[in-house]
Structure 1
Amino acid sequence: MAKIKFQRKRNKILERKAGIKPGSLVISAEAYKPRFFLISFSETHFEESELNSYQELIKRFKEKPNARHWIDIRGYGDQNMLEQFILDFTLHPLQMEDVINDYQRPKVEEFGENRLFIITRMLRWSPEFKSLVDVQLSIFTGANYILTLQSDYGDCLDPLRERIRIGKGVIRTRPTMYMAYAVLDVVLDYYFPVMAEIGHYMEELEQKVLRQPSKSTLTEVLDLKSELVKLRRITWPERDLMNELLRMDDATIPDSLKVYFRDAYDHAVQLIDLVENHREMSSSLVELYMSTVSNRMNEIMKVLTIISSIFIPLSFIVGLYGMNFAHEDPETGRVFRYSMPELYEPYSYPILLGLMGILILFQLYFFYKKGWFRSF
């Protein structure tokens, strides 16, 4: 169900981009009504609020020019607000188009004077649908502010908000570019629990493949492989994003901050290693499924072979004595000595049954000595 919704969403994005003017803001009818959050802070001051309108947000933002601000807008369902947002923060319409067409690759662009436009993707694992849920997070940096925009109301940034509230660490004393790093770092940190949940799910699938290798299990394995391909398409650009940030000149990102981005780059590399490892394990699950099914088929064939081996000589005996050759000529009364005379012996039937039973026991003993029953 989640995959169907994701595909429909992606199809709508592709459809609305065909033939329209570059930089046009086409708002989906399914877009959420925007919510406005503002965190203003300094070394000694902190203020956090959810505001009722964009106008109120801008007013509160301009009232404190000496503070640093985190402007957080969640939901794109107001085109007039987005157009005014472009004007107030001197953004390019193409950038805002990338923001609202929210299935972009992670990337970073430098614009204006030491300003950055960053796109990253927040991930979580859906236990219900056994699939990845990713939401685009767009970040703009300025001299005394950072802007974050996303299409959904929920995100993974609450630990960062809590750090700012309590003044933990150096986040209140650092420039806004450090704030951009902190956002990216939290987003990447949440990839690791997702990888852990995928690992647990793969262990469950492995047990299912070993115990009950059904077609539905194979479907789950193949679905997981497609999710890992999607995860790979996200993590590799995240590493490239961090690499681009490290290459920027000192005027944009000072050396004192690059050490933090280098740490985030290391995290991205670790994530790629985990993704590749999980992809190899998912391929091994497919091979394990095929091997398990083949082994079960071999066991079935072994049982059928034993049954056939038992009944083949019995069928031969029954067929031989079912030929009904006459013992004597009904017209002349002449006796044919070699035409199954044992059929007319008084105990021929129980003797024949006994011989067939002995033959069965002998075959079972022979199969047992060969070890055919040990795997049952």
Structure 2
Amino acid sequence: MNSILNPLEDLKKTLSFSTFTSSKKKRPKTGLAPGSIIYTGKVYSEKIEIEVIDFTADRIQEVSILDMEDLHQYVKSDSVTWINVQGLHDVELISNIGSIMGVHDLTLEDIVDPQQRPKVEEYEDYAFIALKMINFNETKRRIEVQQVSVVMAKNFVICFQERPGDVFDDVRKRLRNSKGRARQRGCDYLGYMLLDIIIDYYYETLDGVYNQIERLEELVIRKPERVEMLQIQALKKDLIQLRKHMKPVRDALLTLLTRDTGIFTSNTLLYLRDSHDHVEQVLENLDTYREMISDVMDIYLSQLSNKMNEVMKVLTLIATIFIPLTFVAGIYGMNFEHMPELGWELSYPYGFYSIIGAITLTMIIYMKTKRWF
């Protein structure tokens, strides 16, 4: 995060979610039969890309799939296969992948729904995990969210992404590097690595949110007039949306830990338990940041109130000083024929202004003594 150089310009870049819009919600699947495969999101690329990383402890192969028939060789292979699908808008292609790899229509229905709540479902031959991939974009100063669905079988893992671009580069590097456990374990460990890297980026996202809150808090204290209520409210809304996406992940991991899915071995469950602990920490931090943004809101309102009080204080002092002066001026402005000072040549410069000055000085000394200013 950059330091506060141009506060007003920085705050115009308040956090916003790339997938959250103010448009009206629509339910395009209302009334349809269960298992109807209909894509309900945006189209981010013209063509869906399918990448395959097939590996054993001794070798690794990376290919791009152009013909769906090439997927048949990975259904019951002896190696571990990671199939990464980028794009969900071509429902016919997604349906073909599901048919070849033995994925149920209900699972495919959830896969092509970007608004699907994070969850875990067990089937006879595989486990289905849906969750959100969340990443803080430093360049655009915004949080990017996309749907990620993971299908884990005995010998393959299919990862469906809403659009190109992900956080799995570190996993790819670990697979290409023959050292370590990445290629020594099976599909369950590969699935764990994908889940763990997604959860790790939750930390990165919250760090970006924390920095935004700190900048906003500092600016509210220094120059509250440069902050708008909508900016604080937008950040607060983003934190609520983050919790909406992150909290179900804890329940999903707990399901994997407590149920015997037959996919994860006891050794991998140990690592998965660590990921569950990380999600707990993320949620604790998220609750803390929600309290922080509420405190920023309170500070902002307090600063505005204090500023208004200072203005009213100055206006009140001025009005209080001028009340007796107005009274004296009113007396001398009356059209009486007989007034004691009218026959004195210096009555106006000495008499009138002396009274005015004496009253003003007396009131200022009195107010200063009372510490009104």
**TM > 0.5 fold call:** yes
Q: 1:4 to 1:91 in 2, by over 3 A?
A: closer
Amino acid at match of 1:16: P
Q: What secondary structure is seen at the aligned counterpart in 1 of 2:216?
A: helix
1:129 offset after TM fit, Å? 7.2
Over 3 Å counting, the alpha-carbon distance change for 1:309 and 1:8 in structure 2 is: closer
Following the alignment from structure 1 to structure 2, what is the Cα–Cα distance between the partners of residues 204 and 283?
A: 14
**After superposition, what is the alpha-carbon deviation per residue over 1:42-96, rounded to whole angstroms, capped at 9, x for unaligned?**
111012233334344x16636x922211100001232321221121111111111
- More displaced, 30-39 or 134-143? 30-39
Structure 1 match to 2:98: 86
**Residues 204-235 of structure 1: per-residue CA shift (max 9 Å, x gap):** 11122223334852111111111111111122
**Cα distance change, pair 10–154 in 1 and its aligned pair in 2 (3 A):** farther
The whole-number CA distance in structure 2 between the counterparts of 1:250 and 1:125 is 33
Q: Which residue identity does 1:86 align to in structure 2?
A: G
Aligned to 1:174: 185
In structure 2, relative to structure 1, the CA distance for the partners of 1:95 and 1:223 (3 Å cut) is: same
Listed one character per residue, the Cα deviations across residues 236-261 of structure 1 (whole Å, up to 9, x for unaligned) are 11110111011022743222221111
Larger radius of gyration: 1
**Partner Cα separation in structure 1 for residue 135 and residue 31 of structure 2:** 34
Q: Cα distance, 1:366 vs. partner?
A: 3.1
What amino acid is the match of 2:347?
Answer: S
In the other structure, the counterpart of 1:26 is 38
The residue that corresponds to 1:371 in the other structure is 371
Q: How does 1:63-82 map to 2 (within 5 A)?
A: 65-82=77-94
> C-alpha displacement at 1:132, in angstroms?
3.3
Identical-residue share of aligned pairs (%): 32
Number of aligned residue pairs: give it. Answer: 356
2:64 is aligned with 1:50: yes
Letter in 1 for 2:353: L
**Partner SS state of residue 288, structure 1:** helix
| Partner residue in 1 for 2:345 | 346
Change (3 A) 1:9 1:244: farther
Residues 168-217 of structure 1: per-residue CA shift (max 9 Å, x gap)? 42010111011111111000000111111111101111122223334852
Matches within 5 A, 1:301-320: 301-320=312-331
Which runs of 4 or more aligned residues in structure 1 lie more than 6 Å from their structure 2 counterparts after TM superposition? none
Q: What's the counterpart of residue 99 of structure 1?
A: 111
Structure 1 counterpart of 2:52, one-letter code:
L
Q: 2 CA distance for matches of 1:4 and 1:235?
A: 16
* Conserved? CA contact 1:42–1:173, under 8 Å: yes
- Give unpaired runs (5+ residues) of structure 2: 1-14
Query: Equivalences for 1:185-204 in 2 at 5 Å?
Result: 185-204=196-215
C-alpha root-mean-square deviation of aligned residues, in Å? 2.3
Equivalent residue in structure 2 for 1:277, among 273, 282, 288: 288
1:61 matches 2:74: yes
8 A Cα contact 2:86 2:160, kept in partner? yes
Match of 1:331 in 2: none
- Give the corresponding residue for 1:247: 258
Q: Specify the code of the residue in structure 1 equivalent to 2:288.
A: N
Cα distance between partner residues in 2 of 1:252 and 1:188 = 20
CA distance in 1, matches of 2:80, 2:263: 17
User: CA separation in 1, counterparts of 2:226 and 2:31?
Assistant: 43
Question: Structure 1 length normalisation: TM-score?
Answer: 0.88
- Contact 1:246 1:258 survives alignment (8 Å): yes
For residue 156 of structure 1, the aligned residue among 160, 164, 167 is: 167
Mapped pair 1:122 → 2:133: yes
Q: 1:29 to 1:286 in 2, by over 3 A?
A: closer
Distance 1:29 1:258, change over 3 A: closer
Structure 2 Cα separation of the partners of residues 84 and 9 of structure 1: 32
* Residues 272 and 303 of structure 1: CA distance in aligned 2, closer, same or farther (over 3 Å): same
Structure-to-structure mapping, 1:294-333, within 5 angstroms: 294-327=305-338
Change (3 A) 1:301 1:134: same
1:229 aligns with 2:228: no
* Distance across 2 between alignment mates of 1:95 and 1:9: 27
Q: Give the Å deviation of 1:24.
A: 1.4
Tell me if structure 2 keeps the 8 A contact 1:76–1:100.
yes
Structure with the bigger RCO (C-alpha within 8 Å, sep 6+) is 2
Contact preservation (8 Å) 1:137, 1:149: yes
Change (3 A) 1:321 1:130: farther
Quick check: 1:177–1:253 contact (8 Å CA) kept in 2?
yes
